[in-house]
């Protein structure tokens, strides 16, 4: 596959995911990559024709990119006001602002880079396939580790000195033991298992768009392995929902599909009660599969919501706070993006993410219904939404950068198709 200089850089950064993980450097690489690519994109956009031909930017910045940028800047303002309201001090304010630059800002920077830089989605999809091949190659030793006496943790990188949410972001693992069941779970190159499962969903989504049967098979196998080995309920839901729903979107334009829906709706009068009971039993079994985890998460959410409502409606508390023994000392404002936003950044921060996320999801749904190119971006948006209800997106976005670049590339593809055709001067002059 022929690549221009920017594509080679992006491809290698993605293909070296496992070597970077072996050095405990992924948390550093992600933000650095975001600011480098976004800076290069804006530089090429500014210089225009002065840039070499295969790196020139075509078109303008899409409106959705402006929306993401504005939303993340509002997030920063909410962060500052929350710190000032609670008098958290200048040192904490600076530290949190750096955290914003390594987290929330990336939600705008990577789509910006994808929308402006001449990087094809096929390059990122193939790079994800290379990551999948490395995952499958390492799988035997990772899966065998707990049964042949290897330790959970290999080492913690000295790069943790740069600062981050916790040492697990710089630690290299073979596996971890689930404290509830004391059985092994695998997180591969993610900081913990549930997040690895969602990365597996992204791997499957990209592999489904791969043109090569070999690489498609590798990507799907690696993604499914990550989902199953992580033992994450959220990953199983994502594997089904995020892959099938985008492919069903074209049915919206089919008359027979609406007739089928009408027939199924009418049949609910007969089988509705049985289906409702089945659904309730399924939800109960799903929640009961990891009852302790469900209890902790629900308690964290309740505490975060009540304290937001009673103490800091508009700009939040500025940062997460240690939780009580009731939630196993998990930080209040963690384990859920939306409750976390309300607690930390208030209603302003909540709306700053909700606005661009709803707009982008609606945009990908519309395009997926009209064109196959919208399936992967819609699958990615559904994955992000699912992730937001079980994790904090901002501390995990450093590993989601290939998916975020795909979102930007999709906007460029749509904008390119909407541009008027360039007239041939030789034809018009004749």
pLDDT at 263: 57
Question: CA 37, 39, 44 angle in degrees (round to 5)?
Answer: 95
Cross-strand bridge partners of residue 173: 153
Non-local (6+) Cβ contacts of 41 within 8 A are 57, 112, 113, 115, 116, 117
- Report yes or no: 341 and 349 within 8 Å, Cβ to Cβ: yes
Where along the chain do its domains lie?
A: 5-416
pLDDT at 246: 92
Q: Read off the pLDDT of residues 316-347 as tens digits, 9 standing for 90 and up.
A: 888 888 777 666 667 887 778 898 899 889 99
pLDDT at 81: 93
pLDDT at 430: 40
pLDDT at 162: 84
CB atoms within 10 A of CB 229: 23
CB atoms within 10 A of CB 269: 8
Question: CA 144, 146, 151 angle in degrees (round to 5)?
Answer: 115
Among the residue ranges 101-110, 281-290, 371-380, 394-403, the one predicted with the least confidence is 281-290
Rounded to two decimals, the pTM is 0.89
Residue 186 phi, psi (nearest 5): -120, 135
Closest CA to 400 of 225, 228, 227, 201: 201
Closest CA to 13 of 419, 398, 272, 379: 398
Q: Read off the pLDDT of residues 198-239 as tens digits, 9 standing for 90 and up.
A: 999 999 999 999 999 999 999 999 999 999 999 888 899 999
Query: Is the pLDDT at 268 greater than 60, yes or no?
Result: no
pLDDT at 326: 66
Average pLDDT, the chain: 86
Q: What is the dihedral of CA 189, 193, 194, 198, to 10 degrees?
A: 30
Closest CA to 401 of 110, 98, 178: 110
Residue 155 phi, psi (nearest 5): -165, 165
Query: Is the pLDDT at 4 greater than 50, yes or no?
Result: yes
Query: Is the pLDDT at 420 greater than 60, yes or no?
Result: no
- Identify which has the larger pLDDT, 281 or 185: 185
Cross-strand bridge partners of residue 172: 155
pLDDT at 70: 97
Q: Read off the pLDDT of residues 15-45 as tens digits, 9 standing for 90 and up.
A: 999 999 999 999 999 999 999 999 999 999 9
Query: Is the pLDDT at 358 greater than 50, yes or no?
Result: yes
SS3 string, the chain, reads CCCCHHHHHHHHHHHCHHHHHHCCCHHHHHHHHHHHHHHHHHHHHHHHHHCCHHHCCCCCCCHHHHHHHHHHHHHHHHHHHHHHHCCCCHHHHHHHHHHHHHCCCHHHHHHHHHHHCCCCHHHHHHHHHHHHHHHHHHHHHHHHHHHCCCCCEEEECHHHHHCCCCHHHHEEECCEECCCCCCEECCCCCCCHHHHHHHHHHHHHHHCCCCCHHHHHHHHHHHHHHHHHHCCHHHHHHHHHHHHHHHHHHHHHCHHHHHHHHHHHHHHHHHHHHHHHHHHHHHHHHHHCCHHHHHHHHHHHHHHHHHHHHHCCCCCCCCCECCCHHHCCCCECCCCHHHHHHHHHHHHHHHHHHHHHHHHHHHHHHHHHHCHHHHHHHHHHHHHHHHHCCCCHHHCHHHCHHHHHHHHHHHHHHHHHHCCCCCCHHHHHC
- Report yes or no: 79 and 6 within 8 Å, Cβ to Cβ: no
């Amino acid at each position: 596959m022929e690549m221009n200089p920017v594509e080679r850089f992006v491809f290698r950064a993605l293909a070296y995911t496992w070597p970077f993980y072996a050095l405990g450097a992924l948390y550093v690489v992600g933000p650095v990559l975001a600011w480098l690519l976004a800076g290069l994109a804006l530089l090429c956009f500014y210089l225009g024709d002065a840039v070499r031909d295969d790196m020139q930017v075509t078109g303008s910045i899409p409106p959705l990119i402006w929306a993401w940028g504005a939303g993340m800047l509002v997030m920063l303002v909410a962060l500052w006001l929350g710190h000032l309201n609670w008098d958290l001090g200048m040192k904490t304010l600076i530290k949190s602002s750096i955290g914003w630059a390594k987290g929330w800002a990336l939600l705008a920077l990577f789509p910006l880079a994808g929308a402006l830089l001449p990087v094809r989605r096929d390059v990122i999809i193939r790079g994800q396939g290379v990551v999948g091949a490395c995952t499958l190659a390492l799988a035997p030793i990772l899966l065998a580790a707990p049964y042949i006496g290897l330790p959970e943790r290999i080492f913690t990188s000295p790069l943790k000195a740069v600062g981050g949410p916790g040492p697990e972001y710089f630690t290299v693992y073979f596996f971890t033991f689930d404290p509830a069941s004391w059985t092994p779970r695998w997180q591969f190159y993610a900081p913990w298992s549930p997040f690895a499962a969602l990365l597996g969903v992204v791997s499957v989504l990209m592999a489904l768009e791969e043109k090569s049967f070999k690489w498609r098979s590798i990507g799907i196998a690696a993604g499914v392995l990550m989902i199953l080995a992580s033992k994450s309920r959220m990953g199983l839901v994502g594997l089904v929902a995020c892959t099938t729903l985008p492919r069903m979107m074209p049915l919206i334009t089919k008359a027979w599909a609406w007739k089928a829906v009408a027939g199924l709706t009418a049949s609910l009068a007969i089988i509705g009660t049985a289906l409702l009971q089945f659904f309730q039993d399924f939800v109960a079994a799903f929640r009961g599969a990891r009852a302790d985890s469900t209890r902790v998460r629900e308690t964290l959410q309740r505490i975060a919501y009540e304290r937001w409502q009673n103490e800091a409606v508009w700009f939040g508390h500025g940062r997460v706070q240690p939780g009580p023994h009731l939630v196993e000392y998990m930080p209040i404002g963690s384990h859920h993006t939306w409750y976390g936003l309300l607690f930390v950044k208030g209603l302003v921060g909540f709306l700053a993410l909700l606005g661009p996320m709803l707009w982008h999801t609606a945009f990908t749904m519309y395009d997926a219904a009209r064109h196959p190119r919208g399936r992967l971006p819609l699958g990615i948006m559904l994955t992000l939404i699912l992730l937001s209800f079980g994790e904090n997106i901002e501390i995990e976005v450093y590993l989601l950068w290939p998916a975020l670049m795909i979102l930007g590339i999709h906007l460029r593809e749509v904008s390119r198709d909407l541009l008027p055709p360039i007239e041939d001067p030789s034809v018009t002059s004749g």
